[in-house]
Structure 1
Amino acid sequence: MKRTAAILIGTALLFAGACGSGGDSAIENLPPDEIGHLSTDRLLDIDQFTVSGEMVDDGEEMEVALSYDGEDGHGLLTMGDVELEVLRIGGSSYLRGNEAFWDRELDHVSQAFMETVGDRWIDVTGEPDMEDLTDLADRDAFVDKALELKGEVTAGDTRKIAGVECLELSGGGRLLWVALDDARPIMLGTSGEEGDDLTFGYDDADIPEAPTGDEVARWAS
C-alpha cells in the first residue's frame, strides 16, 4: 500500500511538473528509491519497447536484442558462436537454438538430435528448467529483474543520453538512467568494469508470429 501511494503521488508530481512554468524536473523532488519504483511502473505501462546491448551471465558476456509488445516478447541472444532465440506469445513459451547452443546446453548433442530439431522452435511452456532462458521474453519478469536496484538507492548527476535529459540512479552496484520528463528507463549499466550495458528504445517492437505445425516441437523433460 505504501508503494502504491508513493507511485500515485509521484505520478501526480509528474503531471504537476508538466503543467508548471519550468524549473527542476518533478522526479528530482522524489526520494531516489521511489524514482526507481516509478521507472519500473512507467515501463510496464508502455505497450511496446526494445532493449539492446550486452548482459553478463556467470562472467560471460552476451549480446542481446529484446522486443516486447504487450504480454508478448522476443529475444535474440548471442555469445560467441552460441545463438538462442526465445519467444513468448499468447501465453506460450518457445526457444530455438543453433547447434552450438544445444551442444552447450546438453553437454553433447547428437547428429540425430539436430536432424530432428533443426531450426524448429521448441515449446517449453510450463517447463521450470527453462524459465531462466524464457524469462527474457517475459516482459514482467525481465523488467522486475533488470530494473531492481538493491540496497540504498542514491541519485547522481543528470546527463543527456540519445538526446534525452536523464537522472542517474544507483543501488547494489547497478546504474539506471531515467528520463527526467516521465521517469522511463533510458540506459542500464553497472558500476564495475564488467556488467550489463543495455539501452531502452521506444519504437515499434517486431515480434514473430507464433510457430505452428512442423515449425514447433514439444520439449521432453
Structure 2
Amino acid sequence: MRFAPRAGLAALTITAALLAGCGNGDKPDTAAPAGTAAANGVADLEAAAILEKAKAALKAAKSFHVKGAVSDSGEVTKLDLKVAGADVAGTIDMGGATLEMLSVGGARYIRPNEAFWTMIDSSGATAKLMKQAVGDKWIKPTANDASLGSFFFGASDIDEMLTPGGALSKGEAKPVEGVPAIGLVDGSDAKTVLYVATSGEPYPIKMERPAPEGLTFSEFNQTFPEIKAPAAAEVVDQASLKK
C-alpha cells in the first residue's frame, strides 16, 4: 500500500515557477472499540477481499482523517489531511517545507511557508518575492492550471492510496488503536501492513511501517469545519501575480 504526496511535487514545482515569474457538530463515526460491536466477518475472507471491503467502507464514509508520515527515496514527508469526498484540508511537511492545501467544491488553494519556496529556489529570491506579494494569504491557481491536479487528487483517491505493490496475505489479528483488526501484508514489502477493523465498519485503521513512517485513519463521517472556502480578502489569484 502507498500514499505518495510527493507524486505531485514535480507538477507543483511547475506551478511555483509560474508564480515566481511574476461542521454540523456530529460526533465522529469511528470503528468501535474492542468488545462493543459485532464482528463484521472480514477476518474470514481472503486478503484481497478484505482490502476491497476496506476500500468500499472508506469510500462510503462521508469523510476521514489521515495522519502520519511516508517516505520517498529516503525523504520523509509528514502529512495531516482531512478528506471529505473530493474536498481536502490539511498540511504536508517535507523536512520543514510546509504546504497548507485546501480544496473546496473544485476550487483549490495553497499556502506554502518560506521554507517551501526556498526548497523550490535555494537562492531565496522566490521566497522573498512570494512573501512580499502574498504574505500569509492563500494562493488560488488559475482555472486552466492543471499542474496541481495530481497533488490534490492523491489525497482523496482511495484506490490509489490503498493499492498494494504486490500480492496480499493475511497477517496478525490484534487490537489496533483500540479496535480489533486484521493485518494485510504487502507482498512487495513485508514491512508494510494495513490493519482493517474486524468489528463495525471494516475501515482501514492503520498503515504500519517502520518508524518514523506510518499512517492512521480516524474521524470517519465527521464534518470538518476547516473545509471551507477562505474569504476573498484572504486569497491572491495566481493570475494577479504574473502581471
Fold equivalence (TM over 0.5): yes
Aligned residue for 2:147, secondary structure, equals helix
User: Given that residues 155 and 169 in structure 1 are in contact (C-alpha distance below 8 angstroms), is that contact kept between their aligned partners in structure 2?
Assistant: yes
In structure 2, relative to structure 1, the CA distance for the partners of 1:102 and 1:93 (3 Å cut) is same
Q: Which has the higher relative contact order, 1 or 2, with Cα contacts under 8 A spaced 6 or more apart?
A: 2
Q: CA RMSD in A?
A: 2.4
Match of 2:163 in 1: 148
Match of 1:219 in 2: 238
Which of 216, 226, 230 in structure 2 is aligned with 1:199?
Answer: 216
Structure 1 segments of 4 or more deviating over 6 A?
Answer: none
By how many angstroms is 1:76 displaced? 1.0
Which of 22, 25, 30 in structure 1 is aligned with 2:45?
Answer: 30
Aligned residue for 1:128, secondary structure, equals coil
Q: How does 1:1-221 map to 2 (within 5 A)?
A: 26-108=41-123, 109-124=126-141, 126-137=144-155, 139=156, 141=157, 143-171=158-186, 172-173=188-189, 174-181=192-199, 182-190=201-209, 193=210, 196-202=213-219, 204=222, 205-219=224-238
User: Given that residues 56 and 194 in structure 1 are in contact (C-alpha distance below 8 angstroms), is that contact kept between their aligned partners in structure 2?
Assistant: no
Distance (Å, rounded) in 2 between the aligned partners of 1:116 and 1:104? 18
Distance (Å, rounded) in 2 between the aligned partners of 1:60 and 1:206? 31
By how many angstroms is 1:130 displaced? 2.4
Which residue type is aligned with residue 214 of structure 2? Answer: D
Distance (Å, rounded) in 2 between the aligned partners of 1:128 and 1:170? 35
Aligned residue for 1:50, secondary structure, equals strand
TM-score, normalising length from structure 1? Answer: 0.77
Aligned residue for 2:54, secondary structure, equals helix
Identity %: 27
What whole-Å deviation, never above 9, does each CA across 1:46-65 have from its counterpart, x for those lacking one? Answer: 11211111121332112211
Aligned residue for 1:150, secondary structure, equals coil
By how many angstroms is 1:84 displaced? 1.0
What whole-Å deviation, never above 9, does each CA across 1:36-75 have from its counterpart, x for those lacking one? Answer: 1110111011112111111213321122111123432112
In structure 2, relative to structure 1, the CA distance for the partners of 1:136 and 1:123 (3 Å cut) is farther
User: Given that residues 159 and 166 in structure 1 are in contact (C-alpha distance below 8 angstroms), is that contact kept between their aligned partners in structure 2?
Assistant: yes
Q: How many residues align?
A: 194
What whole-Å deviation, never above 9, does each CA across 1:150-198 have from its counterpart, x for those lacking one? Answer: 32110011010121000000123232000002321000133xx467401
By how many angstroms is 1:126 displaced? 5.0
By how many angstroms is 1:105 displaced? 2.4
Q: Where do 5+ consecutive residues of structure 2 fail to align? A: 1-37
Aligned residue for 1:165, secondary structure, equals strand
Match of 2:25 in 1: none
In structure 2, relative to structure 1, the CA distance for the partners of 1:133 and 1:119 (3 Å cut) is farther
User: Given that residues 84 and 101 in structure 1 are in contact (C-alpha distance below 8 angstroms), is that contact kept between their aligned partners in structure 2?
Assistant: yes
